[in-house]
Structure 1
């Protein structure tokens, strides 16, 4: 119970030791001059959480009551605790109880994370100065030390600067680096080791909210700054207490009404917060594609782009073409047309292209393998492939057949396309996506998912047939989603050499099943090779089949004999 209370105090916005510093004339039940023994114990415990060791009378041990010594003790509290953890780890290692170094690193990280508010406040103590009647200012904690004029305060300030740089600032820089590089680490296959090393920062929250640890650290840093910035006006730190204390209105009733209205405003704002609707349709790019020919590729591109900016996939809104065209017209800056074999023959894709052309939206054609430019004659024949209902549906949105012909000519002959290779390593497709983002004016933080020299040690292997490019893209999408959900390194394997390299580290083999996959001889050979017992690890991979195609059918007995 006591540990839970200390953890709450150290991670919350509320600093109990600051309550006694507010300039409020407390009534008898809560007076800090006359307190009962349990209340005094609670106050002393909160001081201990804030590294205030005055109440334990350290002068009895050191023979002096030096304020600098107290301050140095506060600054060294966390480093000494981490050093003790390191010594304990070394001792256990000498005794034969081997533990990974990440264990002591995470223990120290948990302690730093829990007491970050206390660490930051301790380093800023020399700058908490209050004004004196003679115009000078002195330290709040040590009123006998004149701020900015005495040599003793200069020593305090120097120690404070060293403490800020080596502790809270260094912690914030490290945490910022970890959070901002974590998505690229996961996408690059190094997420497992990275998240294990920084488990104290990443594993306390849901995978989708991995960044919240950084939010808490910055929030606590701002909270620690408030007593320093607003040290002369403590009522501002607690606005409602300021209203109750100063009572600015002439009548007591007016002051009470003011307080109640302030309460009502806060309650109203807090209650209305969950009802706020964000404009999810607003995006920096729209990916227009043919679902059968480029659905998985577009989904892969969306996952990569989402690490840097917002993007909208048109297949997510096919049930409402009006909204789809309106998003292109009013809520996006770029349209990316994924040119696959049958895209230009689809009516809703034609509507997207015409809408972008009419409204002068920046459009980038992405030329994929298998796409062939249409001749003028073939281009004019495209509307004959549509049903009367589809033609009427486009006309209801102001899209005429002549507009389609002109927009197709604009797309194929006036715009500069980017080339997208559908096969090969995924890093090639990611490079094209990064180039695409640069063309669209979007910032990117990385170039590829894997750094040079990276040795993959996946726990899960993903295998499928690569007869069609969409199958490979589906595997790559599955890899990204699985890594983000499990925080485990995964790898899409393409050949025998890659399987042999990754197999000693892997435990599971996931086979994505598509229609006709069992007739692919290359897939069968790779599957048989991957399921053999590994000579180095002396274990066989556990096979996990996943049906990724609704048209996949399990063969009957005759079908197996035919295979």
Structure 2
């Protein structure tokens, strides 16, 4: 026999004892025992032969002795795995609940830490905003709120988290009404304080509201007075004052943009959160004025007051306007509705973001941890399309009429009506709608529409779900706005453009920093956006590379500019324009013709156009072209890049001599500045020598349309390549030299132009003036073609106006009235009572002075004009009694668009029929002294001897 082992007992079997295993629910930890011990409460023995009982596991209990298994807490329920057995212990003087084994009763059953028991008895996860320690009680975290009767329904205290201090369910900051959602409202008689609590109302609260009303009325009154006095009696706007007003406007705009930040799900820290709260006043958030101390308003009433507050501003403006008109002007000019429209328009421009943002408040909903959505600005209203929320949507639909109609009207006036009214010089209309454009430079009025579009985008973004998407869209809107401002420079004062771009960049940085405090950041969406942006940038780089390479390959075969006209402005500016007009009309010219006024916006690209984008370089040779560094830079670039080059030599052109080449730096000291563009002085000298061998087309001393067309035909037909002048020399002849005699020319011209009602009178000795006349003829003729006989023709030397001519168009160039032919035609035209339209063709032209009379008397015997010498002076005075039109193709800024506008003006004057006829009887000077007194400042010197005596221009 042996001793029974542990977990067994000795049992008598007939004449001996037998060891048997201890049964479940019992144990025996000693050897050689005859009895087993039952498990105590809170423990169990599941297997036979147990040496000791095990404590009931966490989440189970044993309420009886001798158990083979423990009872599971919540056995058979859905949340069985979330059950636990918990008890309280003291740790450093504080009670903590911990899970333990060996529970002896059902009372120890509860839910695991991080879960809570709902009303149905099931354990559920705590969720965001509450803490479940296993005691069965819920502790609300700071910044969240749950009702005492529904501790599992968690609301987040959006905006000011201090109103929800946390603790037991139903806890709010002192003075807050815990019956409202997320402690959103103060109890009756209290107003929001600085620490989230509510404080008793005082007399100071009503004083703040009263001060706000008074300040608003005074601000509207100041705005009214300022707008009423602005531009009165033709006063110009003071630049410094305009900068100040624009700065104030941009400050208000940035403040309203900051108010939009408060609508994003960003936990702005102190003190920036207080700054945003203050600027929310500009978004018509009247809670800052503690209006709850004055009366108890429902969310619907408060919302309606916010969206229609601007109408109250309109009413105040109307009252101020009526008082002013009645008391100050006594209705002398009627109601002056235009002034009222201007004031209301400015108010709407100032508060457009505020109005639109306030209207869209019901669409900005916040989703709480419990899944319930409430209106951000009115946390007590559920976004559920029922009850008060539905009424808010109706009010929003009505109120949207204001910003939408304003945007539509402003866009229509700016884009459609404003150009028409400016052309008609409708001063009343322009003053009425000046709030749309007066801050911007001429031609940039459309920026007001762009500004409104930007504001619309900014107020719509907070409505879009997704925090990261909102920030991305706001940054994109701001970046695009910066680019538009940098590209357009729309503000009237340059400094205001810098200020606008800087402020927008600052706002973009602020919103970027706000990303660090965002609540709901979807990492997957953010990564997808980053990936999309990276792909877009990669595609952009690849597209630019492919486009540049393709452009390079295409330039090898066909370059953008078929002809590049290199010219010196004062010597051949008008002739260059004439050549371009004729070349682009020829069938043999497929590419573009480069003239700097039309095609050059960046001077640094000039030589690149010559070297890489030009097929043929045409040098318009004049007296001074060889001494112009930019012209020589163009020619040198063309030589270096083997651009086909030809010289069109005007009468005063002389090929560069060796003396000029050797002493070139003495004559043109600033030629060394070309070194910055990679052109050395030695390269310029080599170019000058190279120019002697270029193919040349030589022009005679006078110019006409046939000669111009002949030059263009030679340029198209001629193989332009460097060679000897002997092989490539063409000398053109004027049509007057090809005719047999003057009689034949006269017969031909009468047959061609008889019936014309408009003749162009020009100084044929001045080639640039003749070129101007030819350009004018080309551009005006299509505009007057529908009116029979109004197509102008150009008079030649020694030619009188055709019998059918009614209007003389005088091309006014320097010294033109010293030409005897001009004088004779003017006097004869006055004798026929023809009308006249003066055209200023040169920037250097000056209106006649009194010295002109002395010149007339001195040359009276040689002019050969009809009548007395004093007649010419009288006729010239009558010429300039008509308002002259500037048409200067040789000007530095004379683009084709500018010339087309001026050509339309000239056509309008020709067809308008309001030109006054000249007469020789209207002026009878009694003595030379009387003439001199009357003609002072009106007449031009007729020769170089008197040019030094030119007085200031009229």
Higher strand share: 2
Question: TM-score, normalised to structure 1's length?
Answer: 0.48
Question: TM-score, normalised to structure 2's length?
Answer: 0.31
> Larger relative CO (CA 8 A, sep 6+): 1 or 2?
1
Higher helix share: 1
The structure with more radius of gyration: 2
